[in-house]
């Protein structure tokens, strides 16, 4: 219960999908999901747990997957900031609940016992995949989220920094979040019901070097990243994605105006990943030595990684910003007001955000 309350976004929802060709969602009255298609060898390696075992072949791999889901899904304690669905390739875990009404009753009772006075309520929520194009069918290998119709879900207060990046607004949403200014600018191109003059920067966080727990390479700062044999992972949009980390590594490397620093760092980069979740996976799968990322990742994964701060002459900060729709529900503004209270700041500071 402590883990659910402090570390996870709690959601209970019927395990059904619905057909929407614009976002490649799926639906079946029997809660059965079938996925067919072809993947190249490289695409297969990106979606399986054992990429090293995929043979080098020029032909495409044909696949046909059917999943049957009953009951309700409980999603919590994710290791990445995106909402994960049961059918997601990269899901970190799911629990199927066969008796949802009884589970809901016991869960809310347990919350009240563990956290007297905790506020729980029901709200309609619509989920939208921020990486899916507004039209057309995305490549199945990169389709990692599905939209669901609005559902009723019980919620209690959650650790803010964990939940902030979960929901991406669509046209009728009340709030849209950006984890950097360039991210928000890109979102505004898609979500046209919001405008630039509505954007409010509310927190800052510094880029850090994440290293393996225990720091076996003894990395103490940027200069150590240039040493021979150091394997670095960075997060990049690569022109097709929108990430908070886009361009951060080159800003750090070029901060002092020394071209050799950029050349040296680029030489040691072993993966340019489209998102922090993918970067974290690459860091562990590739046995990398360093990852340019944000403090919340090391705060939430202390058994795997730890933070090394950058010196002042290399420091890069990016902000958390929000925009609220002109016709937003009053609760939306109340929530944004809460985000800058002393209570919220104390929570945000635990994962590296500051005002």
261 and 163 in one domain? Answer: no
Distance of CA 222 to the CA centre of its chain: 26
68 and 29 in one domain? Answer: yes
Indicate the pairing of strand 232-235 with strand 290-293: parallel
Classify residue 51 by its DSSP letter: G
275 and 213 in one domain? Answer: yes
147 and 25 in one domain? Answer: yes
Distance of CA 172 to the CA centre of its chain: 22
59 and 179 in one domain? Answer: yes
Residue 223 is predicted with a pLDDT of 97
338 and 311 in one domain? Answer: no
**In this structure, is residue 54 part of a structural domain?**
yes
133 and 89 in one domain? Answer: yes
**In this structure, is residue 150 part of a structural domain?**
yes
- Here the tokens at position 299 are 């705060």
- Here the tokens at position 244 are 């908070």
46 and 18 in one domain? Answer: yes
270 and 144 in one domain? Answer: no
Residue 125 is predicted with a pLDDT of 40
Q: What is the pLDDT along the chain (355 residues), one digit of tens a residue?
A: 555 555 444 444 333 333 333 333 333 333 444 555 667 777 777 766 677 877 777 666 666 655 554 433 333 323 333 333 333 333 334 444 556 667 677 777 777 777 777 666 554 444 344 333 333 333 333 222 333 333 333 333 322 222 222 333 344 578 888 889 988 888 887 777 788 999 999 999 999 999 999 999 999 999 999 999 999 999 987 665 668 888 999 999 999 999 999 999 999 999 998 888 888 989 999 999 999 999 989 988 899 999 999 999 999 999 999 998 888 878 888 888 888 888 888 888 888 999 9
Residue 115 domain boundaries: 2-201+323-349
| Residue 53 burial (C-beta neighbours within 10 Å; 0-12, 13-18, 19+) | exposed
The residues that bridge with 20 in the sheet, in sequence order, are 25
| Residue 265 burial (C-beta neighbours within 10 Å; 0-12, 13-18, 19+) | buried
Contact 244, 206 (CB under 8 A): no
pTM (2 decimals)? 0.55
Give dist(CA 282, CA 324) in Å, integer: 35
272 and 186 in one domain? Answer: no
Classify residue 210 by its DSSP letter: E
299 and 195 in one domain? Answer: no
**In this structure, is residue 354 part of a structural domain?**
no
**In this structure, is residue 225 part of a structural domain?**
yes
Contact 208, 310 (CB under 8 A): yes
Q: Helix 342-349 to helix 330-339 angle, to the nearest 10 degrees?
A: 60
192 and 116 in one domain? Answer: yes
Residue 135 is predicted with a pLDDT of 37
Contact 178, 321 (CB under 8 A): yes
**In this structure, is residue 355 part of a structural domain?**
no
Other CB atoms within 10 A of residue 190 CB: 17
**Total count of domains within the chain:** 2
Which CATH number does the domain housing residue 233 bear? 3.40.190.10
Give dist(CA 190, CA 145) in Å, integer: 18
Distance of CA 186 to the CA centre of its chain: 17
């Amino acid at each position: 219960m402590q883990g659910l309350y402090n570390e996870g976004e709690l959601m209970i929802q019927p395990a059904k999908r619905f057909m929407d060709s614009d976002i490649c969602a799926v639906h079946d009255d029997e809660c059965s999901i079938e996925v067919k298609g072809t993947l190249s060898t490289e695409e297969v390696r990106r979606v399986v747990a054992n990429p090293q075992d995929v043979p080098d072949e020029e032909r495409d791999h044909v696949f046909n997957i059917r999943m049957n889901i009953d009951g309700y899904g409980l999603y919590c304690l994710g290791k990445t900031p995106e909402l994960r669905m049961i059918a997601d390739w990269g899901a970190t875990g799911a629990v199927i609940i066969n008796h949802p009404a009884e589970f809901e009753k016991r869960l809310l009772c347990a919350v009240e016992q563990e956290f007297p006075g905790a506020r729980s309520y029901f709200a309609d929520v619509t989920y939208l995949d921020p990486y899916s194009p507004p039209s057309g069918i995305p490549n199945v290998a990169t389709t990692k989220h599905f939209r669901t119709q609005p559902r009723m879900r019980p919620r209690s207060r959650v650790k803010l920094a964990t939940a902030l990046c979960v929901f991406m607004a669509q046209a009728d949403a009340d709030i849209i979040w950006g984890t950097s200014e360039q991210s928000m600018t890109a979102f505004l191109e898609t979500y046209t019901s919001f405008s630039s003059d509505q954007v409010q920067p509310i927190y800052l966080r510094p880029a850090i070097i994440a290293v393996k727990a225990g720091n076996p390479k003894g990395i103490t700062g940027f200069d150590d990243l240039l040493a021979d044999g150091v394997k670095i992972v960075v997060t990049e949009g690569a022109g097709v994605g929108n990430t908070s980390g886009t361009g951060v590594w080159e800003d750090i490397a070029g901060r002092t105006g020394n071209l050799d620093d950029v050349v040296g760092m680029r030489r040691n980069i072993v993966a340019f990943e489209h998102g922090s979740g993918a970067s974290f996976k690459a860091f562990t799968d590739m046995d990398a030595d360093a990852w340019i990322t944000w403090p919340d990742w090391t705060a939430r994964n202390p058994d795997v990684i730890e933070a090394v701060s950058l010196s002042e002459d290399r420091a890069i900060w990016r902000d958390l910003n929000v925009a609220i729709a002109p016709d937003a529900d009053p609760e939306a503004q109340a929530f944004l007001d809460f985000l800058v209270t002393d209570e919220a700041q104390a929570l945000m500071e635990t994962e590296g955000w500051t005002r």
